[in-house]
Amino acid sequence: MLDWVAENTALVIFAIFIGFALLEWITGLFRSPHETAQDAPLEGVMTMLFAAVIYPGILLLVGYLAQRLVPHWAGAWAELPTLAMVGLLLLGDDLTQYWWHRLSHSPLLWPLHRAHHSAPYMGIRVVYRNNFFYYAMMPGLWISAVLVYLGLGEVYPWYVLVKMTVIFGAHSELRWDQFLYRHRWLHPLAWVVERTISTPATHFAHHAMTQNDGIGHYKGNYGNLLFFWDVLFGTARITRRYPARSGLYDDVVYGPESWTTQLFYPFLKSRREASVLSGETAPQVAAATLDPTPAQLRVPSPWARGPFADEDPSQAQLSGG
């Protein structure tokens, strides 16, 4: 059984992804009153591109180039202890992804990551939502491919399986960490967990529409598998609460960007007013060009096309948002 899982990791990860999606659907959390006409195409196309083009393409390209340039390196680290391999993957993949993610909130790279934050909700469908080039240039994917070539291939499938399960859980509206917060006797465990891996509460805070409420923290909480990197580098905010609303307020004011522009910028440019994807204005330094007031947060978006789109967005704090 374990051998089958290791040989079919992509299939297992896909099954876990579908499992989260089905649970969200059954519990009424998959759809959001805040979704727009641009959301589903962006998420669907990018998820397929990542799974079918970007990720396997990087693995194949690195393997091909390494075989041509340094064939004697193949399997050079295959005899390393398992813990050493895990450590190398955490440093080469997860730590570099923390820094790539953090740098993607800088003026230069923000346009490539904006698509992930433009989702006006959280959920499993947001996981792979991003600009094509954000993933294509992600250092961790390239380094992981090199490490696999060097001989970490036996450990890598299990590492990816654990990492993606944590990431799925951190984005999902199922909010599994609520169970830890409801029971006082579990609070010591919650203290350890929320400082070790990404949880819904900490990652939802990163996607918040505002950080002026003491909950949102889009200038921190960058960790993917390990939240420990945020603790280590001073970018962590832990409140055990969830923001009232996710997304970018400039999308509420000016309308959502075209899904094709979000996906393929800078090759496609935006014509929208006040857009960092137009190529004509300086990118913003934060994950939101406008910061709404509490009263503005309660006003439904005129662009919403989801079920119950006219309901008060403030109600999403407990049921989805």
pLDDT at 308: 52
| Residue ranges per structural domain of the chain | 2-296
Q: Please write the tens of the pLDDT for every residue from 43-80.
A: 999 999 999 999 999 999 999 999 999 999 999 999 99
Report how far residue 264's alpha carbon sits from residue 40's, in angstroms, rounded to the nearest whole number. Answer: 16
Which of the two residues, 297 and 126, has the higher pLDDT score?
126
Report how far residue 184's alpha carbon sits from residue 211's, in angstroms, rounded to the nearest whole number. Answer: 27
Lowest mean pLDDT among 17-26, 210-219, 232-241, 274-283: 274-283
pLDDT at 181: 97
| Rg (alpha carbons) of the chain, rounded to whole number | 20
Model confidence band, residue 1 (pLDDT cutoffs 50, 70, 90): confident
pLDDT at 305: 82
Residue type, 36: T
| pLDDT above 50 (res 319) | no
Q: Read off the pLDDT of each residue in 103-113 and give the average, rounded to a whole number.
A: 93
Closest CA to 225 of 93, 118, 126: 93
Q: Read off the pLDDT of each residue in 197-203 and give the average, rounded to a whole number.
A: 99
Closest CA to 117 of 133, 107, 131, 132: 131
Write down the pTM of the prediction: 0.92
| pLDDT above 60 (res 301) | yes
Closest CA to 233 of 195, 200, 201: 195
Which residue, chain included where needed, has tokens 């374990």? Answer: 2
Residue type, 266: P
